[in-house]
Amino acid sequence: MRIAVNALSVVPGETGGGETYLVELLRAMERHPAAAGHEIVVYCSANAAELYRERGVVRRRVLALDNRGRRARLVFEHLRLGPLLARERADVLYAPGNALPLRLRTPAVLGVQSLHSFIVPEEMSRFRVAYFRRIVPRSARRAARVLCVSDDIRTRLLEIVPGLDAGKVRVVHEGVPQDMGPVTDAARIDEVCARHGVAPGRFVLFVSSLNPFKRPERAVEALAWWRDNGGRPPGGVSDDACGERAWPLLLAGRASEEHAARVRAAARAVGMERQVSILGSVARDELSALLTAARVMVYPSTVETFGLPPLEAMACETPVVAAARASIPEIVGEAALLVDPDDLPAFGAALGRALHDDGLRAQLIARGRERVGRFRWSDAAAGTLRLLVEAARGP
C-alpha cells in the first residue's frame, strides 16, 4: 500500500508541536513491523525537506514550493495535491494539519491536533479563524477516519461538528520524544545554566510559546505569590541576590515581541523584572539540559491539544505543576500537581510545595517515570497505521 503524508502544514521553526509530532511519528513508522510491505511517501516543501529522512519504508517527495508563503501553500494543497496523489497512485492520505485538500479522491485520515480557531478565536488571525472554521468540519465529514491526539480534542471535535460519525473518530496519543531524558553530563548542565544566569536546581522553567492561552503570566504571578507568602529562595543563595526571595523563572519557547512585552509587563507589576528571563526558542539538546536542571517545570496552559512539555519534563525527572484544564489531566494523570490556574493562591502554594517538599518531589519524579512509559511513539505509529489501513479498505 502506498501511504501519502501531507507535510505541507509544517513550517520548520514555526509550527512547534506539529513539527515534533510529524517528525517523531515518521521516525517510529519507518521501523515499525506494521509498516512492512507499505511505502510511506512524505509530500513536503523544499524548505522543509531536511526534516524528513529517507529510510526504510519512508521516502520524500519534495515539491517546488516554499510553505512559508501561506497563499501559495494553500493553493497548491487544495488545487494540485489531490490530483498529484491520484497520478502517483496513493492508496490513502494522512493529513495531520486539520484539513483535507478540496480536490481529493484518495481515501484519507484527517489528523486533528488543534482546534484553537474554535476555542480561542480572539488569539488567531481573522483569516485563520475563517479558514479553519470552514475547512475542519468539511474535512472531518469527508475523511474516512479522523485521528485525534487526545480524548479532550475528540470530545470537542464532536461538539463542533454536529452529526459527525463518532465511530470513525479515534484517539491515538502522541509519544515522548526519544531525545528527552535526564542529562547526565554535569559540565553540559553547568554550561547551559551559566549561559542563562541560573544555577542547576535553583530555577523554575516554563516551556511553551508565550501565547496568552498558554498563561505564562500565571507562572510569573504564582512565583511572586509564593515569594510574598512564605516562599524561600534557592538554597545557598541570599535573599537579596534572589530579589526579595523570588525564584528565577526561565521561559523557553517561541515569543513574538508583543507576547514578550506582555510577560515583561506582568513581571514588572509584581516586582519580578530581575528574576524573569525570556529565552525564546531553544535547541532540543539545550531544552533537555534545562529541564533536567530545573527545580520545577510550570505549565499553566488552559488551551491544550495534547500537552507534550509536561511529559518531556517527567522524562527528564523534573516535577511538574500544571493547569487542571483541557487535555492535561488526561495526559499527566497523578504524576503532576494539577491546579486551577485561575486560583492564584492555590497555584502559588502548589508551586511552593513542588519547590520545597522533598517527599512530594520524590513521589512526583517516580510517578513521572512510570507515566512517560505509557506514551510511546511505537504505539502512535501502530495506531496511525491501523487507521490508514482501515481508511484504504473502505467502510
Q: Note the pLDDT of residue 235.
A: 53
Cα separation of 115 and 213, whole Å? Answer: 13
61-75, 87-101, 206-220: which has the minimum mean pLDDT?
Answer: 61-75
Cα separation of 170 and 383, whole Å? Answer: 9
Q: Note the pLDDT of residue 394.
A: 83
Q: How confident is the model at residue 395 (pLDDT cuts 50, 70, 90)?
A: confident
Check residues 65 and 191 and name the one with the higher pLDDT.
Answer: 191
Mean pLDDT of 34-54: 92
pLDDT above 90 covers a percentage of the chain that reads: 83
Cα separation of 2 and 25, whole Å? Answer: 17
Asked whether the beta carbons of 15 and 96 are under 8 A apart, the reply is no
- 63 has a pLDDT exceeding 90: yes
CATH superfamily assigned to domain 186-372: Glycogen Phosphorylase B; (3.40.50.2000)
Cα separation of 349 and 224, whole Å? Answer: 11
Beta bridge partners of 61: 43
Residue 64, C-beta contacts closer than 8 angstroms, at least 6 positions apart: 46
Average pLDDT, the chain: 92
Domains of the chain by residue range? 2-175+376-393, 186-372
Q: Note the pLDDT of residue 382.
A: 96
pLDDT tens per residue across span 229-281: 877 655 544 343 344 468 999 999 988 999 999 999 999 999 999 999 999 99
pTM of the model: 0.90
Q: Residue 226's Cα: distance from chain center in Å?
A: 28
Mean pLDDT of 311-318: 97
Asked whether the beta carbons of 314 and 333 are under 8 A apart, the reply is no
Please check whether the two domains, 2-175+376-393 and 186-372, share a CATH topology.
Answer: yes
Asked whether the beta carbons of 60 and 76 are under 8 A apart, the reply is no
SS (HEC) of the chain: CEEEEECCCCCCCCCCHHHHHHHHHHHHHCCCHHHCCCEEEEEEEHHHHHHCCCECCEEEEEECCCCCCHHHHHHHHHHHHHHHHHHCCCCEEEECCCCCCCCCCCCEEEEECCCHHHHCHHHCCHHHHHHHHHHHHHHHHHCCEEEECCHHHHHHHHHHCCCCCHHHEEECCCCCCCCCCCCCCHHHHHHHHHHCCCCCCCCEEEECCCCHHHCHHHHHHHHHHHHHCCCCCCCCCCCCCCCCCCCCEEEECCCCHHHHHHHHHHHHHCCCCCCEEEEECCCHHHHHHHHHHCCEEEECCCCCCCCHHHHHHHHCCCCEEEECCCCHHHHHCCCCEEECCCCHHHHHHHHHHHHHCHHHHHHHHHHHHHHHCCCCHHHHHHHHHHHHHHHHHCC
CATH superfamily assigned to domain 2-175+376-393: Glycogen Phosphorylase B; (3.40.50.2000)
